[in-house]
């Protein structure tokens, strides 16, 4: 157990652990985008025929980029620049899924869309509320 604990972020609070958890889930999501179209088609459930290997790989690359940002934020939570970039990454994700749901209508309100919307919105609010806590220690 001590070996596993040595890999966890050392900053106070739960936000760094959350960032690492979200980053880990994003790595899984990115990899699955390269392996299969099935989960991505569930995400864009109103237009699954538009999900093709190129689109899935691009989405996987975007998701992996987000994972790197969030993992880096987990270990460097007191650096203003990375903190700000991480918040913006959640804003981009929230904007993407909201626009696919409400504007482009490629997604429908189901588990595959609800999950990233909840993660992005909770993460943004949490980071904004904790901004001074983590950045005043720098």
Name the domain count of the chain.
Answer: 1
Query: Could you tell me if residue 3 is inside a domain?
Result: no
Q: Which of 61, 78, 51, 76 is nearest to 138 (CA)?
A: 78
Give pLDDT tens digits for 35-81.
999 999 999 999 999 999 999 999 999 999 999 999 999 999 999 99
Angle in degrees, 0-180, between the axes of helices 111-129 and 80-102, rounded to the nearest 10: 150
pTM score: 0.92
Query: Could you tell me if residue 52 is inside a domain?
Result: yes
Query: Could you tell me if residue 61 is inside a domain?
Result: yes
Give residue 23's domain range.
Answer: 12-135
Query: Could you tell me if residue 5 is inside a domain?
Result: no
Give pLDDT tens digits for 78-97.
999 999 999 999 999 999 99
Query: Could you tell me if residue 106 is inside a domain?
Result: yes
């Amino acid at each position: 157990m001590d070996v596993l604990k040595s890999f966890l972020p050392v900053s106070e609070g739960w936000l760094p652990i959350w960032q690492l958890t979200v980053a880990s889930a994003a790595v899984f999501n990115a990899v699955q985008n390269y392996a299969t179209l099935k989960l991505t088609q569930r995400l864009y459930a109103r237009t699954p025929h538009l999900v093709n290997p190129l689109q899935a790989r691009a989405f996987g690359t975007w998701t992996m980029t987000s994972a790197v940002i969030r993992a880096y934020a987990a270990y460097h939570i007191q650096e203003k620049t990375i903190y700000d970039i991480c918040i913006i990454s959640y804003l981009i994700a929230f904007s993407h899924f909201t626009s696919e749901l409400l504007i482009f209508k490629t997604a429908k309100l189901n588990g595959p869309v609800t999950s990233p919307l909840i993660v992005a919105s909770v993460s943004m609010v949490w980071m904004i509320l904790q901004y001074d806590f983590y950045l005043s220690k720098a």
